[in-house]
């Protein structure tokens, strides 16, 4: 499959956003979509280094492999990495176990992101969201306007015609820019394969310690995961279709240990990749609500 | 997976009742693009919000936003993705009601094909004509006429043939290259993916097969080379590359190119991409180009084939779709964005408004939300372009409101106006500075703005007398006086007020050029027109004086009895009563005439502004 068109469109979007931005930043979540987005950014500005930093909003609950991967990739890219943790939430002891996934996500991800953006006064923020992921994302613009307070109003979106993006904002307002809007999960994997983009090993199947909770395999990544009565970690061959905070991210039983296996599996998949994400389904229309409040 | 054709982007047009969302839902379902967990969610949604009883309501899959699901309508553009063994598809699903014309245009702007849905029981309706006109205007050349709900008309062949013939007749002037009619039942699935046994007389492709096989040949690669410059890449002093996405044609190292609008020429040295240097790049590719010579290039310029350059102009005729609830005002300035170039633009006249339902041409003074007009547009600078019918990327533009920054208009360039290329500014030998020196003064435009009765004219008169006494050469342009002559044809609607200010600002500019100190005493209620006036002058020449008097005070004074009339409803569009006043944010001089006397106000102006040479 030829990626010229998809890739060129994404590069055009990234260049356009940077040309008009005062202080741009790229959200880097260490996952497969972030990896592709970063790769495209480096292509867009080659031979220069992309003229913006990476921002990782760190909940401190990511998989250990993700932190190792992050350091490697950042060093290789030559870009600056900013990490940000909502220390108020941390001090208050907000964890995925104590406060429920919805409140935890709000404090440690959405709030944290807003605090980080305000702290650095970023006006253009790249995110790796795709329109095929979720229903409300299917309606979001490529250049998505946020009012002061980072709010998204789905009914007040600027019309987006052709490849013309309205980048005009006032101080305090910002733009979220999604260069991967028109990519599908399948495109992402094929592109990673074709371009040999490094990814976190958790995407590939391997024997890992897991417990079954509410029908979902949760990996026991470190000693912080409180085991419920009767729960004993067992070794299973699993992998992850998406990566987030390990206590909230379900693994799938799969023996796909290579990229070729993953591509074959993805094309035959009967469940969506976000099915393993607990935060999407914790309340009706939950992604739309989280997005309005500033979640990516 | 092997891809035979390039990805197909299409739009579906039809109203809620035509079964549009049901059709998309069915395409996604039958092409196995709906995952099991999504299907499970859909089943539970169908019971809660659905309209199909116990059956799955596919429309719910597509109507993504909660508000839409509650109201059962589609209010925005949603993009859906699916793929078959043969092709990858992106569907823009847009609402069909007239108040959503702009959403349909947005979806159509990037589509190669349109599916126009028709209810077999109703045939070609006004809305079918509207949808067809919009997709034609947006440059779509391939149409599928999906005649739906055939199950409700017993799959009547003659009915199908009649509707198809009606449509072809109507659409003959809309410039479509292909029109394929298909009899469907989106609800039951006939002829969507598999041939329906209930329509044995139909021998054509099913909808999905047709979409998989249609050839949308790229016309962009055939034209001459065009690449708008997005940015200049300078990692170090040795490398200077120009980044952009090729909009038309192809390029190779060694090719002669020209930079527009400057006209400088050079040759391509390298085509740089991450993988290395390319020997060839074509329309659709994002690349970085280096030149053999040092030439001045910046964002918004266009790199073109030296032998066949693009056109350059600053005045156009264009079709314009208005997308804001605040109407288009001829004479008001907007930001125009065309490829990577942003310039200040004015709609100088509306030639006619096109009725999207009937196609009739109507006279209009302004354009309202979802109205389409043919207009003349004038730009502050020249830009390179192609007509929209030749290239969508190089001829499509948006207009942005300068105050709200909303995207308010979408335009398509028809052609450059000849007068743009034939009328040149006459360079005068005796210039502004020489005249000013002879008058021994610094020419200025003192622009008084404020409500009727605020004291603008009183203060302007005092200032005029003082300056005259000091030996200055002055003139007052007074709102009421100018409306007796130059602007006698203008009323008080928003459109006329905009034109009123434009003319006065231009006259003031000529007078300042002539070396005079000009006092303009006009209510000038809109910030955008005052800004337009300011931009005619050089920095520091335009002095905005805000005579800030509360409405109650102006109304108490009511020297001309106008407020009383307006309150009685005998005077329409009166500023402060039923027409708005937008106070200046940063005037050079801010006066309060209910506190200070007119003399004190005048002294404040003299203290703030120097008139000597």
Query: Percent of chain B, pLDDT > 90?
Result: 58
Residue A135 is assigned to a structural domain of this protein: yes
Question: For residue range B113-133, what is the model confidence (pLDDT) as tens digits?
Answer: 999 999 999 999 888 998 999
Residues 6+ apart with CB under 8 A from A48: B233, B234, B235
Q: Residues A173, A205: one domain?
A: no
Instruction: Provide the pLDDT confidence category of residue B205 given band limits of 50, 70 and 90.
Output: very high
pLDDT at B218 over 70: no
Determine whether the interchain pair B245/A186 forms a contact, defined as Cβ–Cβ distance below 8 Å. no
Chain A: residue whose CA lies nearest to B239: A47
Determine whether the interchain pair A139/B299 forms a contact, defined as Cβ–Cβ distance below 8 Å. no
Helix (H) or strand (E) holding B212: helix B207-213
Q: Residues A181, A86: one domain?
A: yes
Q: Residues A64, A151: one domain?
A: yes
CA–CA distance, B104 with B100 (Å, rounded to integer): 7
Q: Are B329 and B495 in contact (CB under 8 A)?
A: yes
Determine whether the interchain pair B406/A158 forms a contact, defined as Cβ–Cβ distance below 8 Å. yes
Chain A: residue whose CA lies nearest to B74: A139
Mean pLDDT throughout B364-392?
A: 92
pLDDT at B176 over 70: yes
Residue A57 is assigned to a structural domain of this protein: yes
pLDDT at A1 over 50: no
Determine whether the interchain pair B78/A139 forms a contact, defined as Cβ–Cβ distance below 8 Å. yes
Mean pLDDT throughout A149-153?
A: 85
CA–CA distance, B413 with B396 (Å, rounded to integer): 6
∠B253-B257-B258 over CA atoms, to 5°?
160
Q: Residues A70, A214: one domain?
A: no
Q: Tell me which of B54-58, B100-104, B183-187, B264-268 is least confident.
A: B54-58
Q: Is B17 helix (H, G, I), strand (E, B) or coil?
A: helix
Domains parsed from chain B with CATH numbers: 8-213 (3.40.50.300), 221-305 (2.40.30.10), 312-421 (2.40.30.10), 432-608 (3.40.50.300)
| Ramachandran area for residue B226 (φ above 0: left; ψ -120 to 50: alpha; else beta) | beta
Q: How far does the CA of residue A224 sit from the closest CA of chain B (Å)?
A: 30
Chain B: residue whose CA lies nearest to A10: B286
Residue A194 is assigned to a structural domain of this protein: no
Q: Residues A89, A57: one domain?
A: yes
Residue A192 is assigned to a structural domain of this protein: no
User: In whole angstroms, how far apart are CA A219 and each of A63, A227, B153?
Assistant: 9, 11, 57
Q: Residues A45, A150: one domain?
A: yes
Sign, CA torsion B574/B576/B579/B580: positive
ipTM attached to this prediction: 0.90
Residue A269 is assigned to a structural domain of this protein: yes
Mean pLDDT throughout B496-523?
A: 92
pLDDT at B246 over 70: yes
Q: Residues A219, A252: one domain?
A: yes
The count of domains in chain A is 2
Determine whether the interchain pair A45/B105 forms a contact, defined as Cβ–Cβ distance below 8 Å. no
Q: Which residues of A touch B79 (CB under 8 A)?
A: 131, 138-139, 181-182
Residue A183 is assigned to a structural domain of this protein: yes
Q: Which residues of A touch B3 (CB under 8 A)?
A: 1-2
Pairing of strands A234-239, B333-338: unpaired
Residue A249 is assigned to a structural domain of this protein: yes
Q: Residues A146, A19: one domain?
A: yes
pLDDT of A286: 62
Q: Residues A81, A207: one domain?
A: no
Q: Peptide bond before A47: cis, by omega within 30 degrees of 0?
A: yes
Residue A193 is assigned to a structural domain of this protein: no
Chain B: residue whose CA lies nearest to A43: B274
Determine whether the interchain pair A162/B102 forms a contact, defined as Cβ–Cβ distance below 8 Å. no
Pairing of strands B372-385, B407-416: unpaired
Determine whether the interchain pair B106/A161 forms a contact, defined as Cβ–Cβ distance below 8 Å. yes
Return the closest-CA partner of residue B452 out of B560, B349, B311, B578. B560
Question: For residue range B405-440, what is the model confidence (pLDDT) as tens digits?
Answer: 999 999 999 999 875 554 555 556 777 777 877 888
Instruction: Classify each residue of B108-146 as buried b or exposed e, where b means 16 or more C-beta atoms within 10 Å of its C-beta.
Output: bbbbbbbbbbbbbeeebeebbbbbbbbbbbbbbbbbbbb
Q: Which residues of A touch B95 (CB under 8 A)?
A: none
Q: Residues A224, A172: one domain?
A: no
pLDDT of B71: 54
Q: Are B93 and B20 in contact (CB under 8 A)?
A: yes
pLDDT at A291 over 70: no
Please give the structure tokens belonging to residue A113. 């992101």
Q: Which residue has the higher pLDDT, B361 or B98?
A: B361
Instruction: Provide the pLDDT confidence category of residue B2 given band limits of 50, 70 and 90.
Output: very low
Q: List, as one string, the DSSP characters of B358-401.
A: T--EE--SSB-TT-EEEEEEEEEEEEEE--TTT-HHHHEEEEE-
Q: Which residues of B touch A139 (CB under 8 A)?
A: 64-65, 76-79
Q: Which of B2, B233, B286 sits opposite A12 (nearest CB)?
A: B286
Question: For residue range B316-335, what is the model confidence (pLDDT) as tens digits?
Answer: 999 999 999 899 988 888 99
Mean pLDDT throughout B534-554?
A: 92
Interface test with B, best of A130, A145, A162, A267 (most B CBs within 10 A): A162
| Ramachandran area for residue B492 (φ above 0: left; ψ -120 to 50: alpha; else beta) | alpha
Q: Which of A12, A157, A267 sits opposite B245 (nearest CB)?
A: A12
Interface test with A, best of B110, B221, B230, B237 (most A CBs within 10 A): B230
pLDDT of B212: 92
Chain B: residue whose CA lies nearest to A187: B88
Chain A: residue whose CA lies nearest to B231: A19
Q: How far does the CA of residue B418 sit from the closest CA of chain A (Å)?
A: 27
Q: Is B31 a catalytic residue?
A: no
Question: For residue range B274-292, what is the model confidence (pLDDT) as tens digits?
Answer: 989 999 999 999 999 999 9
Helix (H) or strand (E) holding A26: strand A24-27
pLDDT of B461: 93
Burial of B222 (0-12, 13-18, 19+ CB in 10 A): exposed
Q: Which residue has the higher pLDDT, A15 or A279?
A: A15
pLDDT of B16: 65
Mean pLDDT throughout B2-19?
A: 74
CA–CA distance, A256 with B490 (Å, rounded to integer): 75
* Structural domain boundaries enclosing A149: 4-187+285-292
Determine whether the interchain pair B37/A4 forms a contact, defined as Cβ–Cβ distance below 8 Å. no
Q: Residues A216, A71: one domain?
A: no
Return the closest-CA partner of residue B449 out of B612, B567, B575. B575
Query: Percent of chain B, pLDDT > 70?
Result: 91
pLDDT at B239 over 70: yes
Q: Give the number of beta-carbon pairs within 8 Å between A and B.
A: 151
Q: Which residues of A touch B406 (CB under 8 A)?
A: 158, 166
Q: Tell me which of B2-11, B149-158, B429-438 is least confident.
A: B2-11
pLDDT of B4: 45
CA–CA distance, A93 with A98 (Å, rounded to integer): 8
CATH of the domain at A105: 3.40.50.620
Question: For residue range A52-102, what is the model confidence (pLDDT) as tens digits?
Answer: 999 999 999 999 999 999 999 999 999 999 999 999 988 888 888 888 888
Q: Residues A81, A121: one domain?
A: yes
Q: Which residues of B touch A160 (CB under 8 A)?
A: 106, 407
């Amino acid at each position: 499959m030829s990626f010229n068109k998809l890739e060129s469109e994404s590069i055009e979007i990234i260049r356009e956003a940077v040309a008009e931005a005062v202080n741009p930043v790229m959200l880097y979540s260490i996952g497969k979509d972030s990896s592709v987005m970063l790769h495209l950014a480096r292509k867009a500005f080659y031979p220069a280094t992309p003229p913006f930093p990476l921002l990782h909003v760190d909940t401190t609950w990511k998989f250990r492999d993700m932190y190792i991967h992050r350091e490697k990739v950042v060093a290789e890219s030559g870009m600056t990495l900013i990490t940000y943790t909502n220390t108020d939430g941390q001090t208050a002891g907000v964890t995925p176990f104590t406060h429920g996934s919805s409140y935890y996500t709000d404090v440690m991800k959405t709030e944290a992101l807003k605090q980080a953006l305000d702290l650095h006064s970023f006006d253009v923020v790249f995110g790796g969201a795709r329109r095929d992921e979720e229903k409300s994302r299917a309606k979001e613009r490529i250049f998505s306007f946020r009012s002061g307070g980072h709010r998204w109003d789905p009914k007040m979106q600027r019309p987006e015609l052709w490849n013309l993006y309205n980048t005009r904002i006032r101080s305090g307002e910002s733009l979220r820019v999604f260069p991967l809007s028109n990519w599908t999960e399948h495109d992402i994997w094929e592109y990673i394969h074709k371009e040999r983009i490094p990814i976190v090993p958790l995407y590939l199947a391997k024997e890992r310690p897991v417990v079954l909770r509410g029908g979902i395999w949760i990996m026991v990544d470190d000693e912080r995961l409180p085991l419920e009565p009767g729960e004993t970690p067992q070794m299973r061959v699993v992998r992850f279709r998406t990566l987030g905070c390990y206590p909230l991210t379900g693994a799938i039983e799969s023996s796909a240990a290579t990229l070729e296996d993953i591509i074959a599996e993805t094309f035959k998949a009967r469940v969506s990749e976000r099915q393993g994400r607990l935060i999407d389904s914790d309340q009706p229309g939950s992604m739309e609500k989280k997005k309005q409040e500033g979640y990516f | 997976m092997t891809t035979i054709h390039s990805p197909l982007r299409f739009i579906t047009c039809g109203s809620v009742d035509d079964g549009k969302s049901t059709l998309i839902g069915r395409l996604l379902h039958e092409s196995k693009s709906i995952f099991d967990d999504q299907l499970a969610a859909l089943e539970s949604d169908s019971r809660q919000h659905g309209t199909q009883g116990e059956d799955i309501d596919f429309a719910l899959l597509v109507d993504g936003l909660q508000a839409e699901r509650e109201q059962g309508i589609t209010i925005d553009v949603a993009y859906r993705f699916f793929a078959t063994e043969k092709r990858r598809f992106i569907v823009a699903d847009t609402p069909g009601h007239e108040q959503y014309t702009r959403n349909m245009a947005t979806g159509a702007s990037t589509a190669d094909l349109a599916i126009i849905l028709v209810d077999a029981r109703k045939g070609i309706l006004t809305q079918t004509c509207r949808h067809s006109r919009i997709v034609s205007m947006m440059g779509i050349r391939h149409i599928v006429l999906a005649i739906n709900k055939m199950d409700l008309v017993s799959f009547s062949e003659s009915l199908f043939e009649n509707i198809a013939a009606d449509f072809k007749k109507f659409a003959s002037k809309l410039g479509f290259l292909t029109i394929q009619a298909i009899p469907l039942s989106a609800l039951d699935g006939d002829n969507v993916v598999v041939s329906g046994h209930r329509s044995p007389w139909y021998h054509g492709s099913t909808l999905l097969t047709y979409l998989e096989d249609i050839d949308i040949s790229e016309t962009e690669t055939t034209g001459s080379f065009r690449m708008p410059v997005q940015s200049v890449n300078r990692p170090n002093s040795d490398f200077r590359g120009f980044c952009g996405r090729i909009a038309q044609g192809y390029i190779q190292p060694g090719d002669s190119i020209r930079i527009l609008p400057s006209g400088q020429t050079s040759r391509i040295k390298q085509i740089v991409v991450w993988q290395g240097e390319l020997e060839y790049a074509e329309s659709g590719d994002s690349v970085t180009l280096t030149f053999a010579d040092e030439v001045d290039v910046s964002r918004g310029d266009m790199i073109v084939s030296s032998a066949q350059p693009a056109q350059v102009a600053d005045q156009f005729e264009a079709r314009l779709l208005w997308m804001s609830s605040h109407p288009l005002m001829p004479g008001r300035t907007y930001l125009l964005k065309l490829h990577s170039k942003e310039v200040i633009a004015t709609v100088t006249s509306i030639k006619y408004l096109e009725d999207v339902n009937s196609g009739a041409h109507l006279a209009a003074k302004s354009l309202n939300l979802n109205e389409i007009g043919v207009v003349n547009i004038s730009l502050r600078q020249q830009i390179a372009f192609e007509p929209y019918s030749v290239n969508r990327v190089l001829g499509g533009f948006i207009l942005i409101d300068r105050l709200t920054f909303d995207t308010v208009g979408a335009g398509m360039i028809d052609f450059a106006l000849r007068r743009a290329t034939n009328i040149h500014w006459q360079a005068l030998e005796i210039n502004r500075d020489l005249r000013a020196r002879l008058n021994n003064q610094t020419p200025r435009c003192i622009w008084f703005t404020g409500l009727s009765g605020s004291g603008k004219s009183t203060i302007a008169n005092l200032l005029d007398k003082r300056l005259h006494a000091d030996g200055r050469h002055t003139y007052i342009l007074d709102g009421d006086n100018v409306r007796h002559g130059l602007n006698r044809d203008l009323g008080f609607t928003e459109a006329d007020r905009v034109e009123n200010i434009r003319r006065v600002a231009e006259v003031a500019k000529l007078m300042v050029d002539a070396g005079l100190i000009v006092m303009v005493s006009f209510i000038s209620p809109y910030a955008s027109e005052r800004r337009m006036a300011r931009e005619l002058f050089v920095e520091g020449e335009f002095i905005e004086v805000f005579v800030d008097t509360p409405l109650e005070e102006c109304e108490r004074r009511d020297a001309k009895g106008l407020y009383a009339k307006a309150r009685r409803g005998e005077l329409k569009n009166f500023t402060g009563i039923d027409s708005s006043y937008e106070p200046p944010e940063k005037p050079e001089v801010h006066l309060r005439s209910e506190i200070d006397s007119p003399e004190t106000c005048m002294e404040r102006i003299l203290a703030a502004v120097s008139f000597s040479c």
